[in-house]
Amino acid sequence: MEKVLTVCPYCGSGCKINLLVENDQVIGAEPAQGVTNQGELCLKGYYGWDFLNDPKLLTPRLRKPLIRRTRDSAFEEVSWYEAINFAATRLQEIKHKYGPDSIMLTGSARGPGNEANYVMQKFARAVVGTNNIDHCARVCHGPSVAGLQVTLGNGAMSNSVEEIENTKCVFVFGYNAAVSHPIVARRILKAKEKGAKIIVCDPRFIETARIADLWLPLKNGTNMALVNAFAHVLLEENLYDKDFVAKYTEGLDDYKATVAKYTPEYAEKITGVPAQQIREAMRMYAGAETATVMWGMGVTQWSQAVDVVKGLSGLALLTGNLGKPSCGVAPVRGQNNVQGACDHGALPNMLPGYQPVTDAAARAKFEKAWGVSNLPDKPGVCLTEVPKMVKAGKLKAYYIFGEDPAQTDPDLHEVRESMRDLEFVICQEIFMTKTAMMADVVFPATSWGEHEGVYSSCDRGFQRFYKAIEPQGDVKPDWEIISLMATAMGYPMKYSNTQEIWDELRELCPIYYGATYEKMAGLGYIQWPCPDLDHPGTPYLYADKKFQTPSGKGLLFACEWRPPMEKVDAAYPLILSTVREVGHYSCRTMTGNCHALQTLADEPGYISMHSKDAKALGISDQHLVSISSRRGKIIARADIDDRINEGAVYMTYQWWVGACNELTAEHLDPISKTPEYKYSAVKVEAI
Q: Which residues bind ligand SF4 (CB under 6 A)?
A: 8, 10-11, 13, 15, 37, 41-42, 44-45, 181-183
β 16-22/214-216 pair status? unpaired
**Least Å distance between CB 448 and ligand SF4?**
11
**Least Å distance between CB 36 and ligand SF4?**
8
What is the three-class DSSP state of 422?
Answer: coil
**Least Å distance between CB 462 and ligand SF4?**
15
| C-beta nearest to ligand SF4: residue | 45
What is d(CA 244, CA 25) in angstroms, rounded to the nearest whole number? 56
The amino acid at residue 539 is P
Nearer Cβ to ligand SF4, position 128 or 454?
A: 454
What is d(CA 623, CA 685) in angstroms, rounded to the nearest whole number? 11
Nearer Cβ to ligand SF4, position 13 or 154?
A: 13
Nearer Cβ to ligand SF4, position 271 or 586?
A: 586
Buried b / exposed e across 140-157, counting CB within 10 Å, b at 16+? Answer: bbbbbbbbbbbbbbbbbb
**Least Å distance between CB 362 and ligand SF4?**
33
Nearer Cβ to ligand SF4, position 83 or 183?
A: 183
- Give the number of residues written for the chain: 687
**Least Å distance between CB 433 and ligand SF4?**
20
**Least Å distance between CB 94 and ligand SF4?**
38
Nearer Cβ to ligand SF4, position 174 or 334?
A: 334
Nearer Cβ to ligand SF4, position 15 or 315?
A: 15
Nearer Cβ to ligand SF4, position 185 or 382?
A: 185
Residue 460 phi/psi, 5-degree rounding, is: 70, 20
Is the CB of residue 383 less than 8 Å from the CB of residue 422?
no
DSSP bridge partners of 650: 577, 608
What is d(CA 293, CA 289) in angstroms, rounded to the nearest whole number? 13
What is d(CA 646, CA 575) in angstroms, rounded to the nearest whole number? 10
Nearer Cβ to ligand SF4, position 482 or 597?
A: 597
Nearer Cβ to ligand SF4, position 9 or 65?
A: 9
Is the CB of residue 306 less than 8 Å from the CB of residue 143?
yes
DSSP 605: P
**Least Å distance between CB 674 and ligand SF4?**
22
**Least Å distance between CB 11 and ligand SF4?**
3
CA neighbor of 414 nearest in space, from 106, 124, 629? 629
What is the three-class DSSP state of 99?
Answer: coil
DSSP 341-388: HHHTT-SSSEETTTEETT-HHHHHHHHHHHT-S----S----GGGHHH
What is d(CA 453, CA 458) in angstroms, rounded to the nearest whole number? 17
**Least Å distance between CB 19 and ligand SF4?**
13
